[in-house]
Amino acid sequence: MCIIPALLIVFIICSGVSSCSRVSDAGEEDIFSEEDRRESRLTDLTSSEDSNTESTVRDAESDTAPIDDIATPGVITPSEHEAAIEEADAWIKEHGIYKESEYIDISGTDISNVDIDMIISRMPNVKRLVTVNCGLDNDGYAALQDRHPDIKIVWEIVLSHWTIRTDVVAFSTFKTTAEEFYMNNEEAYYLKYCNELVALDLGHNYVSDLSFLEYMPELKILILVDNVKEKDGETLRHLTDLSELRYVPKLRYLEIFANNVSDTSFLQYLPELEDLNISYNSMSSIEYMKNMPNIKKLWMEHTYISGAGVNTLRQLYPNARIISSGEGSIDQGWRSGERYRAMRRMFRENVIDDIYRD
């Protein structure tokens, strides 16, 4: 009777243990499953974040240009520079230009809408570029020359009554007192680009600013007669300042009669003078007229130079013809002789006569 209850108790206990074991196993499985799920979610989240980060980096990289090719206002990028070079080379080829040449003539070709500076840079040996009738105005051509001082840009200066190529060697306005048109300082400014001039005649005009002479180192003939500095009502005030002549030390022929010049200090810079006409000016001193070893003709009618001064000059230059009295500035043979005829030919034909060559 006692055995049965004992067995029952043992059975119950074993059943309880077995049940607990199953419960425990199930709980552990649930715990492991939950941890696995959390780890899985963390792995997925990390992968997703890594993927999003890589995608963001790729997008950022794709949206970012190389640092050297970022556009800056006023500065061309390397790619733009390369494109400009290709365009310039294509233009040169299209116009049949041999870009290694020292002399290049593109006259009649419109350059107003092309990068002419880049085109010039692709012609490394050019020393003279002829651009007559190429679509720019005076200021446009002048700016082009200013940007390329080592190249002679040849163009036509178009003024109110004159058209002047910048490669002229002799230019005259051929003005007389009977004509009612004048070159003024604004127009004369552009003469600075005619830096190959050997002979220049601006007689009977309204030119008083002679700063352009600084750019004419080869000038040997200069005519500035009767140039009005300003017009004050009915009073004409003539040229007074000739200090800019210090820039033209090769001068051999100079006409400045019929002005109002009193300061002769400019003469100290002109040791090559052969023909000098200072008639009808307010000069009185000969101090700066004592160093003209080559003088051949000296006209000084109607000045304030004394008789004693005239005699001194005649003693200094016994072989020169010196005229100190008379009428008309050009009387008694001023406009005669071989040198004068050579000068007139130069103005007519735009050539350099052998007499006036170095």
Domain end call among 115, 135, 158: 158
pLDDT in tens, the chain (358 residues): 444 444 444 344 444 444 434 434 444 444 444 555 555 554 554 455 555 545 554 554 445 545 555 556 667 789 999 999 999 999 999 999 999 999 999 999 999 999 999 999 999 999 999 999 999 999 999 999 999 999 999 999 999 999 999 999 999 999 998 898 999 999 999 999 999 999 999 999 999 999 999 999 999 999 999 999 877 766 778 999 999 999 999 999 999 999 999 999 999 999 999 999 999 999 999 999 999 999 999 999 999 999 999 999 999 999 999 999 998 899 999 999 999 999 999 999 999 999 999 9
End residue of a domain, out of 158, 184, 212 = 158
Give the number of other CB atoms < 10 A from CB of residue 194.
Answer: 20
Asked if 126 and 190 sit in the same domain, the reply is no
Is residue 123 a contact partner of residue 105, using CB atoms and an 8 Å limit?
A: no
CA distance 337 to 346: 15
What is the model's pLDDT at position 1?
Answer: 42
pLDDT at 73: 65
Q: Which residues contact 102 (CB under 8 A, 6 or more apart)?
A: 125, 126, 127, 128
Whole-prediction pTM: 0.79
Q: Can you give the residue range of the structural domain that contains 302?
A: 160-356
Between CA 202 and CA 353 the distance in angstroms is 20
- Give every CB contact of residue 157 below 8 A, 6+ residues apart in sequence: 138, 141, 163, 164, 165, 166, 190, 191, 193, 194
Instruction: Please check whether residue 208 is in contact with residue 187, taking contact to mean a CB–CB distance below 8 angstroms.
Output: no
User: How is residue 127 written in tokens?
Assistant: 């020393």
> Is 30 within the bounds of a domain?
no
Same structural domain, 246 and 321: yes
Same domain assignment for residues 144 and 199: no
Nearest to 270 by CA among 287, 294, 286: 294
Rounded to 10 degrees, the C-alpha dihedral 231/235/241/242 comes to 90
**Domain co-membership, 153 together with 282:** no
* CA terminus-to-terminus distance, the chain: 157
For residue 76, the model assigns a pLDDT of 73
Rounded to whole angstroms, the Cα distance separating 307 from 294 reads 22
Last residue of a domain, one of 106, 133, 158: 158
- Assigned domain for 250 exists: yes
